[in-house]
Structure 1
Amino acid sequence: MSLWYRALMASKRGRPTADERAKRQERVLEVATELFLSRGYEAVSLDAVAGTAGIAKRTLYESIGDKSALFCAVVRRQHRYTEPESEPSDLVQAAEAVHRSLMTDQAVALHRVVIAAAVSFPELAKEFYANGPAVAQAFLAKHLVDAGGSPESAPLLFSLLLGERHRRRLLGLDAEPTAEESRVQIAEAVAVVLGDIA
């Protein structure tokens, strides 16, 4: 049976194909991101996300889970550089991927959402860390080993890649860094961790 025929039969039975499910998931995450950023965590409901995305709430719940799971899926979306097809070839490229992903306006805004909700939703803060900073640090640790460095230096490298510039971004004091500003910060961070400079 051809793939085309299977897809046709699945469509006739009302079951979405894998491609359709992937597109629906992407649409849901886009909508969820927009709503979390515009309304904050507490004010967003699964009903609002499902309605805006044009799917049933039950479908949303079955495919992703509750609101905290949805937010974590949005956070993981910021770390697509960890996916096999996006895998950097060396430590500098890995550092660039982390830095550029987390310095975007959207990533900074999501970080603000978590900070605003952390006191009322402490579990959300833990889940954000597990699906965000911890993922980035594990990713850097792997590339540090490949570069002859210590995986235990990953938290330091992660901190240097964000640093004071990220704090200023969170406070709305600085715009997204230019390519040259990013290049300099990334190079310095990697050099410090690998011991190339004092």
Structure 2
Amino acid sequence: MRQVTKGSIVADLVPWVLATWHSVPDELKRIDMVVEFVKKYGEMLGIYLKGSGRSKTVNRSALNDFAKQITAIANDPNGSAVIEAAAFEDGKRKVRAVFKFKSKDAQRAVEKIESHRLMLEKQSGADHTRVLMVFHQANIRTTPVGKRTGERVRIEEISRKDLPLIYASQIAEERIKSEIREADDNLFRKGFCGGCEAEPVLA
């Protein structure tokens, strides 16, 4: 902490203290990493501060973090924030990257961030029909409808990772379980059409 004044806190994220330079880990001596962070952070959050659109690379978790970080500034009519990366060169402190915003920018960003968050939430909860589902892990046990099963599946349109399967109806569960328990061919070489009454198709 270098300075505290009414309504503001000024602090160094990574202090470059010459007197203790020999004890600073090598990875922290790379000021370019901190500079890159400030630039990237400024670019992503800057989209919402300027009200110029939505970032294509952020998720709901990142949006929640952004909102938490700027709420205090948004609620203070005279609030402002400065994020910078600085290093000591030849005994002088030099700013290599800086990112600033004021209360009115933060207020606009809060609205834009919330709008984007709600859009992503709506998309993640949307129904996906006629999509291909393939099994990554099977389980012959019967699980109550609406409860997470021991099975994992992959649906490209939703996620690149395999996800736990939850049956929305008993009919869907019975049809798929019959393929798991009774079919002679390999379950993992089949695909199931979501929104097509769980009909199996060749994968």
TM-score by length of 1: 0.23
Bigger helix fraction? 1
TM-score by length of 2: 0.22
